[in-house]
Amino acid sequence: MRVFILALSVFGILASANVAKAGPSMTDRDLLASADPATFVHEATQETEDLVGLDKGKRRDVQRRLTRLGFDTKVNGRFDKSTRAVITRWQAARGYPKTGFLNVLQHQALLADSVSATRASFSSSDKSNDDRPARRRGGGGVHHHRSGPSGLIGGVVGGLFGRR
């Protein structure tokens, strides 16, 4: 009977592992292919940036997103000369006209760009954790090792309740 329970447990684990893989795709996509062509043609100016409606909080958000993408800037909510230079570098790296100002389409592209970069770093950090050895709890007590199905089931149940 124990072997039957163990077999069902293993089958349940394997079946649920396939369900976990059926979630949303975390694959990076080519953002330039999906971007609106007008983003690359229309130059941004102070007037087009004003249409985005960036208050101090949204300016900080832009600065944080640029920094996450590797374009380091001070997060202060002001678009001073250094921030304008960072926006220009971001525009040059993405193939936009280099003006140092954003328009609505470029702002949306920056939002999408930073979201995909966050997902990529999140999925790569998940993979890097798999390379680390498992952490073990301390304790110098005597551990009894059981063999066979009863040892496996006892180990699983003991693990659920914090015992070994």
User: What is residue 23's DSSP assignment?
Assistant: S
For residue 116, the model assigns a pLDDT of: 73
Contact 100, 81 (CB under 8 A): no
pLDDT at 82: 94
Radius of gyration of the CA atoms of the chain, in A: 26
Distance CA(99)–CA(27), nearest Å, equals 31
Residue-wise pLDDT for 103-154, tens only, equals 999 999 999 887 776 666 656 655 555 555 555 555 555 555 556 666 666 6
Residue type, 68: R
Sorted by where each begins, the domain ranges of the chain are 31-119
Q: How far apart are CA 93 and CA 89, in angstroms?
A: 6
Per-residue model confidence as pLDDT tens digits over 51-105: 999 999 999 999 999 999 999 999 999 999 999 999 999 999 999 999 999 999 9
